[in-house]
């Protein structure tokens, strides 16, 4: 119950939601699962790429965290690395003092966005951590020169945002010759600064996920990589295969492992293979932790093989710190890809481009219409409707959810009337307008399509009918897809 009340306080603090009964508190786990699922399903639209659980577990496993070390994820998202670290260290607790240390002095995080921050706190609380220590705010907002020994940690595990751009004020927190708008390069500098230094009693170590662009990047990227190689031991780069982050992005990613134990002398590479017979991972066929078994066996007994090789520091400096090294044991290259693979890559890229064009068109059209027509309150064109029914145990009720960003309504899993916490459900009909009270500002509004007519919603999803003498339902359907409308809502 203690965790339940803490979790309630987190939600009250972040979103102003107030829970008054123990029954409502016990539903928080269910709420968290649904929030996380909705966030995951909309991740491609909001630009957030969530780290697959097998990758997180692999990184925590090879890092071999020890109780008494401090762990940080400065871009923690929904808290995947922090939860896995907590579960790993929990097994090492033998005394009350051990547990107190784990709860209060070990796990730290930072997250810039409110919703992932709230979910990270909920995630940790639901896994048994009573005192989540996560800072709401951009971890890049502190000047690098102001980070001293007291701010450093033993271990950093993180997946910084890919391809983001920071504002001028944030760039000013970094050395003049290292300033860039690229978020992942700024985070790499922050991570190097936040690790405990060699000779302070411990060697800080970091595991970081980066896109291919960081490995071969030039300009500022070269200077940052040069500092990494000269001041840290970049001992391992694990190259992940295609589709690990599907369906959110096709960008290839790598795992960098480095520590404060002196300069790099050589870098070991391990190319994680795809399962036999596969060309890619997909949303329905994602990566599994068991696929890391060969790499785990290799980790402490390193020898060159068809998946692994090493490159000397002299070779890396001679090539301007280009870390994008291909396996010498494989002749795989784009010229040897199958025609089907090439076609799939082209189609995927075209879909991304078409998505950008569609978004641009939608914004231009919405701006055009809003600039010519006067605004009117929704109550002038919509009227509230209610078709209440008391749930009957043994009766199966089809349920509806509403996606973000104007992507429409969808049918969720059905529920037995005896298993719902709501005393009343409301039936929908075709052309009802359904609004998600909590997430309307994120475009969670839709018009009920014919195939969803007859489904049910709770009081969290109020229903409306369009006054057809003022407006047609299909106009509201179109309006729900415009960014300008979400902003007004």
Stronger pLDDT, 251 or 135, i.e. the higher one: 135
pLDDT of residue 20: 44
Mark whether 48 and 107 lie in a shared domain.
yes
**Domain stop point among 332, 351, 383:** 332
415-416 and 425-427 beta bridge pairing:
unpaired
Stronger pLDDT, 373 or 221, i.e. the higher one: 221
**Tell me, what DSSP letter sits at residue 51?**
P
List the single range of 132-136, 195-199, 244-248, 466-470 with lowest mean pLDDT.
Answer: 244-248
Across 233-247, b (16+ Cβ under 10 Å) vs e yields bbbbbbbbbbbbbbe
**Domain stop point among 104, 137, 170:** 137
Q: How many domains does the chain have?
A: 4
- CATH code: domain of residue 410: 3.90.220.20
pLDDT of residue 480: 79
pLDDT of residue 201: 63
Helix (H) or strand (E) holding 359: helix 339-372
Please compute the mean of the pLDDT values over residues 311-322 and round it to a whole number: 94
User: Which residue from 157, 162, 187, 324 is spatially nearest to 257, judged by alpha carbons?
Assistant: 157
Please compute the mean of the pLDDT values over residues 59-65 and round it to a whole number: 94
- pLDDT band of residue 69 (cuts 50, 70, 90) is very high
pLDDT of residue 93: 95
Stronger pLDDT, 184 or 17, i.e. the higher one: 184
pLDDT at 100 over 90: yes
Task: Tell me if 475 is assigned to some domain.
Answer: yes
Range of the domain at 12: 1-137
pLDDT at 255 over 90: yes
pLDDT at 329 over 90: no
pLDDT at 46 over 60: no
pLDDT of residue 10: 47
Mark whether 168 and 250 lie in a shared domain.
yes
Mark whether 214 and 324 lie in a shared domain.
yes
pLDDT of residue 367: 57
Write out pLDDT tens, residues 195-235: 998 766 678 999 999 988 899 988 899 999 999 999 999 99
- CATH code: domain of residue 83: 3.40.50.150
- Segment of 309-313, 418-422, 468-472 carrying the highest mean pLDDT: 309-313
Exposure on the CB side of residue 327, measured as CA atoms within 13 A: 18
pLDDT at 238 over 90: yes
pLDDT at 38 over 70: no
User: Which residue from 403, 430, 401 is spatially nearest to 415, judged by alpha carbons?
Assistant: 401
Q: Mean pLDDT for the chain? A: 83
Mark whether 299 and 354 lie in a shared domain.
no
Mark whether 287 and 174 lie in a shared domain.
yes
Mark whether 310 and 415 lie in a shared domain.
no
List the single range of 273-282, 284-293, 368-377 with lowest mean pLDDT.
Answer: 368-377
pLDDT of residue 473: 81
pTM of the predicted model as reported, rounded to 2 decimal places: 0.63
Mark whether 165 and 64 lie in a shared domain.
no
Task: Tell me if 186 is assigned to some domain.
Answer: no
pLDDT at 16 over 80: no
Write out pLDDT tens, residues 376-428: 787 888 889 989 999 999 999 998 888 888 888 888 888 888 888 888 999 99
pLDDT at 371 over 70: no
Please compute the mean of the pLDDT values over residues 311-323 and round it to a whole number: 95
CA 481 to each of CA 135, 303, 350, 359: distance values in angstroms, whole numbers, following the listed order: 33, 55, 22, 10
Write out pLDDT tens, residues 151-196: 999 999 999 987 677 877 888 899 989 998 888 999 999 999 999 9
Which residues 6+ apart lie within 8 Å of 81 measured at CB? 51, 56, 59, 60, 73, 157, 158, 159
pLDDT of residue 47: 40
pLDDT of residue 327: 86
pLDDT of residue 42: 46
What is the rounded (10 degree) CA torsion for 310, 315, 320, 326? -40
Q: How far apart are CA 167 and CA 112, in angstroms?
A: 14
| 213-217 CB contacts, 8 Å cutoff, 24+ apart | 213/251, 214/184, 214/185, 214/188, 214/254, 214/323, 215/254, 215/322, 215/323, 215/324, 216/322, 216/323, 216/324, 217/185
pLDDT of residue 39: 52
pLDDT of residue 57: 96
Task: Tell me if 390 is assigned to some domain.
Answer: yes
Task: Tell me if 191 is assigned to some domain.
Answer: no
Percent of the chain's residues with pLDDT above 70: 83
pLDDT of residue 362: 62
pLDDT of residue 239: 96
Mark whether 132 and 3 lie in a shared domain.
yes
Mark whether 12 and 61 lie in a shared domain.
yes
Mark whether 382 and 318 lie in a shared domain.
no
């Amino acid at each position: 119950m203690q965790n339940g009340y803490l979790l309630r306080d987190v939600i009250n603090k972040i979103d102003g939601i107030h829970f008054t009964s123990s029954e409502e508190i016990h539903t928080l786990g269910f709420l968290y699962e649904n929030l996380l699922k909705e966030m995951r399903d909309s991740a491609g639209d909001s630009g957030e790429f969530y780290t697959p659980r097998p990758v997180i577990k692999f990184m925590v496993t090879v890092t071999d965290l020890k109780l008494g070390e401090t762990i940080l994820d400065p871009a923690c998202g929904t808290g995947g690395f922090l939860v896995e670290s907590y579960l790993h260290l929990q097994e090492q607790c033998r005394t009350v003092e051990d547990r107190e240390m784990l709860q209060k002095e070990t796990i730290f995080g930072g997250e810039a966005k409110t919703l992932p921050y709230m979910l990270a706190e909920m995630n940790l609380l639901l896994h048994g951590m009573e005192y989540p220590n996560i800072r709401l705010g951009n971890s890049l907002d502190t000047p690098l020169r102001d980070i001293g020994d007291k701010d450093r940690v033993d271990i950093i595990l993180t997946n910084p945002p890919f391809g983001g751009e920071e504002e001028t004020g944030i760039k000013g927190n970094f050395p003049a010759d290292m300033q860039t708008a690229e978020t992942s390069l700024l985070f790499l500098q922050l991570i190097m600064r936040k690790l405990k230094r060699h000779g302070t009693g411990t060697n800080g170590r970091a595991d970081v996920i980066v896109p291919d662009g960081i490995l071969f990047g030039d300009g500022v990227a070269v200077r940052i990589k040069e500092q990494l190689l000269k001041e840290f031991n970049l001992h391992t780069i694990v190259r992940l295969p295609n589709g690990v982050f599907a369906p959110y992005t096709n960008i290839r990613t790598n795992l960098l492992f480095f520590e404060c134990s002196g300069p790099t002398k050589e870098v070991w590479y391990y190319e994680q293979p795809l399962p036999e017979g596969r060309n890619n991972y997909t949303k329905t066929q994602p990566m599994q932790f068991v696929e890391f078994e060969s790499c785990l066996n290799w980790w402490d007994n390193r020898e060159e093989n068809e998946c692994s090789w090493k490159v000397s520091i002299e070779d890396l400096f001679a090539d301007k710190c280009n870390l994008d090294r291909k396996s010498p044991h494989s002749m795989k290259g784009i010229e040897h890809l199958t025609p089907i693979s090439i076609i799939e890559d082209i189609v995927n890229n075209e879909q991304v481009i078409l998505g950008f064009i569609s978004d641009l068109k939608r914004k231009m059209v919405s701006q055009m219409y809003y600039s010519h027509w006067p605004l009117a309150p929704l109550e002038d064109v919509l009227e509230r409707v209610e078709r209440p029914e008391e749930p009957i145990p043994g009766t199966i009720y089809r349920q509806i959810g509403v996606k973000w960003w104007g992507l429409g309504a969808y049918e969720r899993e059905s529920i037995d009337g005896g298993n719902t916490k709501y005393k009343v459900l409301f039936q929908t009909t075709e052309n009802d307008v359904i609004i998600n009270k909590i997430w309307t500002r994120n475009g969670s509004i839709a018009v009920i399509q014919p195939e969803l007519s007859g489904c049910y919603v709770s009081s969290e999803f109020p229903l409306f009918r369009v006054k057809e003498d003022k407006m047609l339902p299909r106009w509201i359907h179109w309006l729900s897809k415009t960014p300008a409308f979400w902003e007004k809502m």
